[in-house]
Amino acid sequence: MKLLPPLLLLTLTVLLGACGSRSSAPKSIDGKYVYEDNISRSVVTISGERWTMSTKFGAPGYRYGSDDKFDAGDVKGNTLYHSGFIPYGQVSDNTLTIGFRHYYKQ
């Protein structure tokens, strides 16, 4: 019986270990994502298969409660949908992109 050379054995061990250590569980996108500029602050909350958005208008520190805008929709994978079928936003890593706005996960 012939033994494998030590370098080949080490290479096979490293390759097999690397292949088996990858996790296939998807990372959850659930949480709060925030966007703020000079005139508004929006918070998008993702929970399971639903998302909600609350936007308050006014300068930072001077938000007007009666001007709140609310929106909601569905989540499929990493994509947010409005009215069930219109793509609205996309989550990648800890960033939600809606149009040209980037919301950062808190």
Q: Any idea what the CATH number is for the domain that residue 64 is in?
A: 2.40.128
Contacts of 64 (CB under 8 A, 6+ apart): 56, 57, 58
Q: Does residue 16 sit within a domain? A: no
Q: Does residue 94 sit within a domain? A: yes
pLDDT, residue 21, reads: 45
pLDDT, residue 27, reads: 82
Residue 71 sits in which domain range? 31-105
- Residue carrying structure tokens 């097999």: 16
Q: Does residue 18 sit within a domain? A: no
Q: Does residue 49 sit within a domain? A: yes
pLDDT, residue 73, reads: 96
Q: Does residue 5 sit within a domain? A: no
pTM of the model: 0.71
Across 76-97, b (16+ Cβ under 10 Å) vs e yields eeeebbbeeeeebbebeeeebe
**What are the residue ranges in the chain where pLDDT is below 70?**
1-26, 60-61, 63-67
Q: Does residue 20 sit within a domain? A: no
Q: Does residue 101 sit within a domain? A: yes
Q: Does residue 4 sit within a domain? A: no
Work out how many domains the chain is built from and give that number. 1
